Structure 1
Amino acid sequence: MKIVVIGGTGLIGTKLVAKLTEHGHEAVPAAPSTGVNTITGAGLAEVLKGADAVVDVANSPSFEAGPVMEFFTTSTRNVLDAEDAAGVEHHVGISIVGTERLADNHYFAAKIAQEKLIEGSGIPFSLVHATQFFEFVGGIADEGTWDDGKVHIAPVAWQPIAAEDVAAILGRTAVGTPLNTRIDIAGPDEVRMDEFFRTALAERGDTREVVSDPHARYFGSELTERSLVPLGAATLGQVHYADWYATQAGR
């Protein structure tokens, strides 16, 4: 199969292209660096010629309300229009577990708008909702650090996943029959978010104190007990955080 990966040079995209290639597929990374710009539409028609499926893992360069909404809606419309013209028969999109529960969050609202475009496009689709990635643990801790130098984390359910597992599941989804619905994916272990960060930072030699704060915000949004984890059935990754962290060079 020819599978075009929009955002194919990023964290998930590079892993996905590698996995698809290993399994004998023609995986084509599409990004500005490869001559494809989904905002202007440049290069889309050419890269989608003969494509059987498209996986869109592109991310917005800005998380501010206006720019993030503009990115996801403009990019997605252009991709879907080009897919329709090229006769692509499967669009796979990635989103976030809990988007509908945190619709006040600018980024989540933009992902909801993106999903609606995909669902209404008429192109067979699959939506993969993922929990947060292991790779962003450090950034989340920094985001949660207040002026007191302490990391404020909500004591809620947390089930992060390795980017490697996300790429593997996206790959299996892309080569399969379109689901025309969404699936949730998460890591193999559900833990308390505050306890997770307390342990994870200690393992990194990070001496910041982690404060269990019910009102701590997650990228601007206050959380409820299960805002960030699947509420029902989910496909689970295989990589545990401790095993993943043990493999990280220069940690």
Structure 2
Amino acid sequence: MKLTVIGGTGRIGSRVVRKLAAAGHEAVPASMSTGVDVITGEGLDRALAGAQVVIDLANSPTFDEASVDFFRISMRNLLDAGEKAGVGHQVVLSIVGVDQVPGLDYYRAKSLQEDLLRLGPTPYSIVRATQFFEFMDAVLSWTSDDDTVRLPATPIQPMAAADVVDAVVEVATGAPLGGVRNVAGPEVFRLDDLGRLTLAARRDSRTVVTDDTAGMFADVPGDVLTAGPDARLAATHYRDWLEKHESTP
């Protein structure tokens, strides 16, 4: 099977390409570095030629209001190019609870992307994942200083990027869902508690202060970022992942 991976040189995309290739598929990475621009459309026809499946892992360069235009334009371009190329399955990676956080520009942008995909001409699948373990460094940096890290008590159910890759590959190599598959980590944490756990594992002396006005996740209502009963839970636990990665030189 030939699959074109948009964003195929990024954190998730490069792993998806490798996993597909290892399974015997023809996996074509498509990104700015390979001459493909999802905003202008440059290189899309070439990248999608002969592909049965398109996996869209492209990400907006910003998390602000500009992300709305990025996902609107890129999704329309991919749908148009995919229809022209005869693509039979469009797959998008999204976020658990994305349609329940209208106060965040980035989540609103991803929700729009999903809506455009649903209304498009091609059979589709949406993989909604929870936050990645690998993003904790960024989260800790948003509202920190030399002594403290301020984090809200927002419930999240994070998962390893490797488990996200497995979920994307499984869906992309199967029949189109015509809907959403939710995937999540095996445990729910309060974000402030997750910060404390992370700093302790790193022997970081900073103190985590619970502040429900701090950072992007302060705008998230309730537990909408945690998975429902229909979600597929990944096997990797955060403490195990953290121990492995903190002990790796």
Normalised to the residue count of structure 1, the TM-score between the two structures is 0.93
Give the 5 Å matches for 1:186-197: 186-197=184-195
Q: Deviations over 1:9-50 (max 9, x none)?
A: 000001111111111111110001011111111111111111
Mean alpha-carbon deviation: is it higher for 41-50 or for 202-211? 202-211
Q: Residue 98 of structure 1: CA displacement? A: 1.5
Paired position in structure 2 for 1:105 = 104
Alignment partners' CA distance in 2, 1:166 and 1:182? 14
Deviation at 1:88, TM superposition (A): 0.4
- Give me the whole-angstrom Cα distance separating, in 1, the residues matched to 2:42 and 2:154: 43
- For structure 1, the 5+ residue unaligned runs are none
Q: CA deviation at 1:59?
A: 0.5
Aligned to 2:229: 232
Residue in 1 aligned with 2:27? 27
AA paired with 2:105?
Answer: H
Distance across 2 between alignment mates of 1:250 and 1:218 = 30
Q: Distance in 2 between matches of 1:30 and 1:242?
A: 34
TM-score, with length taken from structure 2: 0.94
Change (3 A) 1:137 1:68: same
Structure 2 unaligned runs (5+)?
none
2:5 is the counterpart of 1:5: yes
Distance 1:112 1:250 in 2: 37
Rounded to whole Å, the distance in 2 between the matches of 1:213 and 1:64 is 22
User: What is residue 179 of structure 1 aligned with on the other side?
Assistant: 177
Report the equivalent of 1:200. Answer: 198
| Aligned CA-pair RMSD | 1.6
Q: Identify the match of residue 241 of structure 1 among 238, 241, 247.
A: 238
Q: Secondary structure at the match of 1:231?
A: coil
Q: Deviation string for 1:114-171 (max 9, x for gaps)?
A: 11110000210000111100111011011132x6842222223221011100011000
Name the CA distance, whole Å, in 2 between partners of 1:148 and 1:162.
Answer: 28
Deviations 1:43-99 (A, max 9, x none): 11111111010110110112221x211111111111110000001010010111121
CA separation in 2, counterparts of 1:243 and 1:208? 22
Matched, 1:117 2:120: no
The 3 A distance-change label for structure 1 pair 98 and 144 is farther
- Alpha-carbon deviation of 1:197? 1.1
SS in 1 for 2:82: helix
Instruction: Give the Cα separation in 1 of the matches to 2:128 and 2:143.
Output: 23
The code of the aligned residue for 1:229 comes to T
- The Cα shift of 1:227 comes to 2.6
Deviation at 1:104, TM superposition (A): 1.2
The equivalent residue for 2:151 is 153
For 2:62 and 2:197, the matched residues in 1 are separated by 30
Q: Is the 8 A contact 1:90 1:123 kept in 2?
A: yes
Deviation at 1:236, TM superposition (A): 1.2
Tell me by how many angstroms 1:250 deviates.
5.6
Equivalent residue pairs, number: 248
- Matches of residues 203-222 of structure 1 in structure 2 within 5 Å? 203-218=201-216, 221-222=218-219
CA–CA distance in 2 between the matches of 1:36 and 1:148? 41
Query: Amino acid of the residue matched to residue 152 of structure 2?
Result: A
- 1:104 partner SS: coil
- Percent identity of equivalent pairs: 44
